Amino acid sequence: MMKTFLTLGLFLLISVSSFAQNESEEPKEFKNSIRYNISTPSILGIENIILGYERVLGKNRSFTVALGLNNLPFLNVGSDLTGDSGVKLIGDGKNSGFHFSGDYRFYLKSENKFDAPRGVYIGPYYSFNSYNRGNEWALNTENFDGNVSTDLFFRINSIGGELGYQFKLGKRFLLDFTMFGPGLAFYKTGIGLDTDLSEEDELLLLEKINEILSERIPGFNNVVSGEGIERIGTTNTTSFGYRFLINVAYRF
């Protein structure tokens, strides 16, 4: 999925670049833009709605902020990926989350024909993402036969630097590609149970959860270390982060 999405982004980038090169005049100046993130819904689902705002501070500087709702992809109810494992996902529960991010942009004078918010930009960024997902499982083992509810959460703080290009699509519309955004990501992950299980049954359930999440969530194996979520409770990890975004914007 990620490779397909990157290919689509590259195609749009080349197409819009050709369009933008034909422009020669800058119309009336607009210092404000409202933005809609189209990349996150493409990866995690249309339930993810993230809106943003960009304010031009000068000929070559601006800042952006974004707020929105996050949802993890629905898991496959009835999934039993390991055959007769004794664990089956039977229901999706609550699904909620929150997004906040911001960056400070420097539009490069040496690379850009027009003033901000058009052209190549670099700058620092920060983002925070929170996800909560509830699920119900049927567990049938030597020690337990019944249903178990789980509450899974992720908290992700990311900081780094970015490189991007913003194109003008008409008098008031923009298409913004944040193409390269390496940084550090600080993950807090956890899972809770509503039922006391033996250590053996907990490991069996966690194995199933990790297996399904790795299939449904892009980059899940980069979020958690080792074999995935390895215990009931909370885990903190730090790893390499990456920022790739596509936004459409309306200027005013």
Q: What is the pLDDT along the chain (252 residues), one digit of tens a residue?
A: 445 444 555 555 555 444 444 444 455 689 999 999 999 998 888 889 999 999 999 999 999 999 999 998 877 665 554 455 688 888 888 899 999 999 999 999 999 999 999 999 999 999 999 999 999 999 999 999 999 999 999 999 999 999 999 999 989 999 999 999 999 999 999 999 999 999 999 999 998 888 888 887 777 776 665 567 888 888 888 888 889 999 999 999
Query: Are the CB atoms for 123 and 106 separated by under 8 Å?
Result: yes
Question: Which residues neighbour 194 within 8 Å (Cβ) at sequence distance 6 or greater?
Answer: 148, 149, 150, 151
| The pLDDT of residue 57 | 97
Q: How many CB atoms lie within 10 A of CB 168?
A: 21
Q: What is the DSSP string of 163-207?
A: EEEEEE-SSSEEEEEEEE-EEEEEEEEEEEESS---HHHHHHHHH
Please count the residues of the chain.
Answer: 252
For domain 2-251, give the fold.
Porin (2.40.160)
| Nearest alpha carbon to residue 209 among 70, 81, 45, 96 | 81
| The pLDDT of residue 80 | 52
- 23: its two tokens: 């422009």
CA distance 203 to 139: 12
Question: How far are the Cα atoms of 198, 204, 219 from residue 208, in angstroms, in the given order?
Answer: 16, 7, 17
CA distance 50 to 65: 10
Burial class of residue 84 in the structure, from the number of CB atoms within 10 Å of its CB (0-12 exposed, 13-18 middle, 19+ buried):
exposed
Q: What are phi and psi of 209, to 5 degrees?
A: -60, -45
Domain boundaries, the chain: 2-251
**Helix runs in the chain, H state only:** 2-20, 39-44, 199-216, 220-223
CA distance 134 to 72: 10
